[in-house]
Structure 1
Amino acid sequence: MFTAKLCSSYPAATRLEYRVSPTSSSRRRTLTAGALAAVAALVAAGVQTGSANAVSVRDAAIAHAKTNVSRNAELFGFGAGQDLQVKDVIVDADGIQHVRFDRTYQGLPVIGGDLVVHQDARGRLKDSSRAKGHSPVVKSTVPSIPAKAGAAHALSAVPGISAATSVPQLVVWAADGTARLAWQTTVSGLGKQGQPSGKIVVTDATTGEEIEQLDAEHEATGTGHSEYTGDISISTTQQADGTFALIDPVRGHTTKDAHNLSSSSVKASSGTLYTDADNLWGDGKKFSTDRATAAVDAHANTAWTYDYYKNTFGRSGIKNDGRGATVFVHVGTNWDNAQWSDACFCMMTGDGNGTTDPEQVDLDTMGHEMTHGVTSATANLRYSGESGGLNEATSDIFGTMVEWYANNAVDTPDYLFSDQSTPPWLRRFDKPSLDGRSADCWSTKVGRLDVHNSSGVGNHWFYLASEGSGTKTINGFTYNSPTCNSSTVTGIGNQKVAAIWYRALTVYMTSTTTYKGARAASLSAASDLYGTGSAEYNAIAAAWSAVNVS
């Protein structure tokens, strides 16, 4: 695993982009009041489902429903200048039909003018459901307030959205039962956490008075069939068109398909946002052909990482500014890796090697990579020498703590890093040298190792301080951690050690901290949190001595 260390910041600009949206009547099937007679004639002539030349059950239901509206115009408030637009048709098992319509007046959408026609299997009217906008008739469809003024008002009405654009649409607003010509303006931009955000502002097109304001997107909870953590709930956003998107409205991150673009080419604007009609995501399989499956894990595990830092340390996101990251899955081709990039504030995950390693989206891997962002925003440990090893160890430590925090029954918490996506494990904490490359103990040679291997000293220290030395079984897995000085170490639990390490990282470490400096920083942190000479302070010191750092 590696991290990109470039960092840049671009101020958000607000711009006015007033475009009058066309009505959707040209894209939908419509029927004017005058044309309803033709439909009635068609029905009367004997169009029946099941006949040789019959239209489908759905089309027959629509035809009957439009006839019922025409014949009961007063009931439905239907008259000259109005069109019906089919929105949905439901046919029950017993043949009962429910046809839902939106409507327009003089070509303008009527907000609050929707209706449902309930009819029996033969198309005879049984009942109706109607919104408050019974009559959409307005004196004029020519606005006194220009589109530009409506767009500008909407922008000023929602100051919490940055990088905003404003698109007004002329409508007949009748949601309270009184029809008014209005500008319905959609303001789109970025919310306080950097997530896509939108508001709809409605203003009277005659007086300029604001009528209402509502969210263009709605928080929702989807069901994800994940690769690594079973069936889980994920936070999604319901968009204005009714579809759901992998935008976390609470934490602010957005999950996208990179379409196998190489990691060096990925930008925040790359890829495609995941959307879905029913808010059910993925198939739960490793090496899945359903591209949303990896997205489920990535989206959920980014949330777990955010929650761990927020609920444990009070940290709001990677940079502690509440901003959500952009998360990419399907980066590269057979890219058996994952990466954090400060440059685009992005998390990138590959699809594994296609044979033994599945998608790199498991809990500790995701937590590891995003912790590189936390390190960059705090101590900014240089990615070489001993400070580079400490950088990697920090990501291993907190990636593992995210796994312990989630406490998922499918991905049982352990001290094996990336055991799910790189089986049986990529690195382990109790004896790092079991991978054939990593260091268990500090020596003058450690700084010359690859940072993923010099991290072993920090990982070993963390395990000893948390669980102690010797053989023990934890969550069904047996560990055997030796010490480098033949001492016996008693652990104080990983939550206390993680708290000490977080304070050391964010308060005392600098970009060039070495292992000796990390010992001093963690002892200062232990003293702050638990007192000098406390059991916690002494355990931290003993664990450092046990890996030859003094």
Structure 2
Amino acid sequence: MTTPRYARHKRSYLAIATAVAAGALLTGGLTAGTASAQVPSDQAGQAPLAAAPTTLSAAARTSLIQKAQADIAETGRRLGLGAKEKLIVKDVVRDVDGTVHTRYERTYAGLPVLGGDLVVHTSKAGKSEGVTKATKAAIKVASLKAQVTPAKAEKLAVSAARTLGSTKSAADGARKVVWAGSGKPVLAYETVVGGLQDDGTPNQLHVITDAATGKKLFEYQGIENATGTGKTLYSGTVELTTSGSGSSYTLTDASRGGHKTYNLKHGTSGTGTLFTDADNTWGTGAASSDANDQTAAADAAYGAQETWDFYKSTFNRTGIKNDGVGAYSRVHYGSNYVNAFWDDSCFCMTYGDGSGNNHPLTALDVAGHEMSHGVTSATAGLNYSGESGGLNEGTSDIFGTGVEFYADNASDKGDYLIGEKIDINGDGSPLRYMDKPSKDGGSADYWSSGVGNKDVHYSSGVANHFFYLLSEGSGKKTINGVDYDSPTSDGSTVTGIGRDKALQIWYKALTTYFTSTTNYKQARAGTLSAASDLYGADSTEYKAVAAAWSGVNVS
């Protein structure tokens, strides 16, 4: 008999983390610099799409950052921001045609404005082409003096964490912020609760508390759970990029931002020990309960390498933050830990060994899913709650699927199934199905007014189903030996445009039109804008986006 606690764990699998570093200065601005044009994989040999992103050199990125920072006062004036508001550059995207999309965070009287992010769109000539805002409300609060003490906010946050199943919880302090994520902006506290969730995953629950009333306004996890030559367990024998020579090698990939793979040896803290080897052959192709086993490390290193290459080849994105810096991976976390997670605070991926310590959660689509949470954090920063949380989770499923198809691995062929290799359910079934999400027993096939109340791994079904319909269309289809049969909410027939184009549209929408509070209706508008930019407002692709959203009841 399934207990409520176990049921909650099953829902949490393959979620991964989206911790957002508030006020981080990543990139920004508008200036000249070296860039290379991105060509979608289904259009090789053709001229790049005018609205596709380009790759910026390190020097060009630095110049963009400096220019954007120097111009924030003028940008704020043009946007009509108040005297107490300031902008902080978070990200920048430049298209082939020179259009620049600069993403900003906001502060008010020196306080971070959560839910106040925005994207400014500027033509090559410097003309404004609009702005996408997380909130339309004016950022203003009546008083900057809190009526509630930080200690009370911390107590409430710890209580919230324990209600969600956290153990050994402790607040890491409460900071004053302006909460603009819903309704009228208010003075608030953001409290981060550390410790452990009840399955052993590190806890980073962010709780937003009204500083005037003490009422909890919002909460989200900063770490979301996931289930998640090398002789790997899941992908067969693969080539791995390593470092060293002679009789001393390490799992260090200098060609992909210096990514490293570490061994935690069943520990739960620290970086661990870098994997080393004498003959540069990693793993045995079989799982082992031995904490020194290299097989899980080979899978993790391969997943990181394929994910890096997928983003570079498909979108010209160089690393998770698009800054050329590699993350690192940790394997053998804890004991019998049936999970994996991405954590922005360490910029790292962590994998448990699963039941009996011999089912590591290092499959290819899990790796792609995890690192894609980092991409979402570095771009739109979709809040991990409600409909935006479903979109966040769906984004990782979409790009994790993209990684699996991109790798073209004979042992793990591309499919529209999530987590099919790790057998968390114990019966060979996948965690999620993109063609008909409800086949997992809980995910939503279509949008409804209550979908945002579902766990984000279930509300993500709407995004996953949309992506499948846009890629492959409705009805029956067999791909790589897997049979699919995708319905629509209104019985309509949707004709797919192909996965490559669908990925381009979702990525452009994520990086230039989605914000932290985007819901499904706004995601429809954002993907239509992306399709219009890439293929034209009268294009087949634009019409397919509209039809696919209608097919999942989003209008």
Superposition misfits of 4+ residues, deviation over 6 angstroms: none
Q: Is the 8 A contact 1:297 1:362 kept in 2?
A: yes
The 3-state SS of whatever aligns with 1:471 is: strand
1:341 to 340, 343, 365: 343
1:466 aligns with 2:471: yes
Contact 2:20 2:381 in 1 (8 A): no
Output the amino acid matched with 1:261. Answer: G
Question: What displacement does 1:243 show?
Answer: 0.5
Give % identity.
57
Give the secondary-structure state (helix, strand or coil) at the position aligned to 2:349: strand
Which of residues 452, 457, 461 in structure 1 aligns to 2:457?
A: 452
Q: Match for 1:234 among 227, 231, 240?
A: 240
Find the counterpart in structure 2 of residue 525 from structure 1. 530
**Which amino acid counterpart does residue 279 of structure 2 have in structure 1?**
D
Deviations 1:103-147 (A, max 9, x none): xxxxxxxxxxxxxxxxxxxxxxxxxxxxxxxxxxxxxxxxxxxxx
What letter is aligned with 1:379? A
Question: Please, which of 486, 502, 506 is the counterpart of residue 511 of structure 2?
Answer: 506
Residue-by-residue CA offset, 1:296-326 (whole Å, 9 max, x unaligned): 0100110000000011111110000111111
Partner residue, 1:316: 318
Note if contact 1:4-1:343 (Cα within 8 Å) is conserved in structure 2. no
Which one of 265, 271, 277 corresponds to residue 259 of structure 1?
A: 265
Tell me which residue corresponds to 1:350: 352
Whether the 8 Å contact between 1:258 and 1:329 is mirrored in structure 2 is yes
Q: How far off is 1:242 after superposition?
A: 4.3
Alpha-carbon separation, structure 1, partners of 2:527 and 2:19: 27
1:519, CA displacement in angstroms?
0.4
Residue aligned with 1:280, SS: coil
The more displaced of 452-461 and 344-353 is 344-353
Q: Deviation of residue 285 (structure 1)?
A: 1.1
- Residues of 1 paired with 2:23 and 2:248: CA distance? 30
Whole-Å separation in 1 of the counterparts to 2:470 and 2:508 = 16
CA gap of 1:287–1:480, structure 2 versus 1, over 3 A, is farther
Partner of 2:172: none
Letter in 1 for 2:508: R
Q: Which secondary structure state, in structure 1, belongs to the residue aligned with residue 351 of structure 2?
A: strand
Aligned-partner Cα distance in 2 for 1:243–1:299: 17
Structure 2 unaligned regions, length at least 5: 1-13, 25-228
Q: For residues 336 and 395 of structure 2, what CA distance do their matches in structure 1 show?
A: 27
Q: In structure 2, how many angstroms separate the alpha carbons of the residues matched to 1:487 and 1:10? A: 45
| 2:399 match | 398
Q: How much has 1:5 moved relative to structure 2?
A: 3.7
Given the superposition, is the C-alpha separation of residues 364 and 322 from structure 1 closer, same or farther in structure 2, using an over 3 Å criterion? Answer: same
Which one-letter code corresponds to 2:516 in the other structure?
S
Cα offsets for 1:74-107 (capped at 9, x unmatched): xxxxxxxxxxxxxxxxxxxxxxxxxxxxxxxxxx
Q: Taking CA–CA contacts closer than 8 Å with sequence separation of 6 or more, which of the two structures ends up with the larger relative contact order?
A: 2
Largest Rg, 1 or 2? 1
Counterpart residue number, 1:384: 385
- Do the aligned residues in 2 keep the contact of 1:379 with 1:506 (CA within 8 Å)? yes
Name the counterpart of 1:481.
486
Measured against aligned partners, the alpha-carbon deviations of 1:343-365 in whole angstroms (never above 9, x if no partner) come to: 0001011112238x821111100
Task: List alignment gaps of at least 5 residues for structure 1.
Answer: 12-222
Residue 4 (structure 1) shift: 3.3
Residues 331, 352 of structure 2: 8 Å contact kept: yes
Question: Are 2:299 and 1:297 equivalent residues in the alignment?
Answer: yes
Aligned residues: 332
Which whole-Å CA distance do the structure 1 matches of 2:263 and 2:473 have between them? Answer: 42
Q: Render the CA deviation track for 1:482-521: whole Å, top value 9, x for unaligned.
A: 1011100111111100000000000000000000000000
Give the AA of the match of 1:341.
D
Q: 1:433 is matched with which residue?
A: 438
State the match for 2:361 in structure 1: 360
Superposed CA deviations along residues 342-394 of structure 1, whole A, max 9, x for unmatched, are 00001011112238x82111110000000000000000000000000000000
Amino acid at match of 1:256: Y
Matched residues in 2 for 1:440 and 1:461: separation? 9
- How far apart, in 2, do the equivalents of 1:531 and 1:287 lie? 52
- CA offset at residue 424 of structure 1? 2.0
Letter in 2 for 1:362: A
Report the counterpart of residue 424 of structure 1 in structure 2: 429
Deviation at 1:335, TM superposition (A): 1.3
**Structure 2 residue corresponding to 1:546, chosen from 543, 551, 554:** 551
Tell me by how many angstroms 1:523 deviates: 0.3
Q: Deviations over 1:160-184 (max 9, x none)?
A: xxxxxxxxxxxxxxxxxxxxxxxxx
Question: 8 Å contact 2:18–2:376 — kept in the other structure?
Answer: no
**2: CA distance, partners of 1:532 / 1:10:** 35
**Structure 1 pair 8–463 and aligned structure 2 pair: CA distance change class (3 A):** closer
Deviations 1:431-461 (A, max 9, x none): 1001111000000110000000000000000
Q: Which residue of 1 aligns with 2:329?
A: 327
Displacement of 1:287: 4.5
C-alpha distance in structure 1 between counterparts of 2:518 and 2:377, whole Å: 13
Q: CA offset at residue 533 of structure 1? A: 1.6
Q: Which residue of 1 aligns with 2:16?
A: 3
Could you say if the C-alpha distance between residues 429 and 7 of structure 1 is closer, same or farther in structure 2, counting changes exceeding 3 Å?
closer
User: For residues 289 and 306 of structure 2, what CA distance do their matches in structure 1 show?
Assistant: 22
Contact kept? 1:287, 1:354, Cα under 8 Å? no
Question: What is the CA–CA distance in structure 2 between the aligned matches of 1:391 and 1:299, rounded to whole Å?
Answer: 24
Q: TM-score, normalised by structure 2?
A: 0.58
Aligned partners of 1:287 and 1:359 also within 8 Å: no
Q: Is the 8 A contact 2:247 2:279 kept in 1?
A: no
Q: Is the 8 A contact 1:466 1:494 kept in 2?
A: yes
CA distance in 2, matches of 1:342, 1:293: 25
Give the corresponding residue for 2:127.
Answer: none
Counterpart position of 1:407: 408
Residue 376 of structure 2 corresponds to 375
The whole-number CA distance in structure 2 between the counterparts of 1:418 and 1:365 is: 7
Q: Report the equivalent of 1:28.
A: none
Pair 287,544 (structure 1): closer, same or farther in 2 beyond 3 Å: farther
User: What's the CA shift string for 1:375-427, capped at 9, x where partnerless?
Assistant: 00000000000000000000000000000000111101100001001332010
Answer with 230-239 or 446-455: which moved more.
230-239
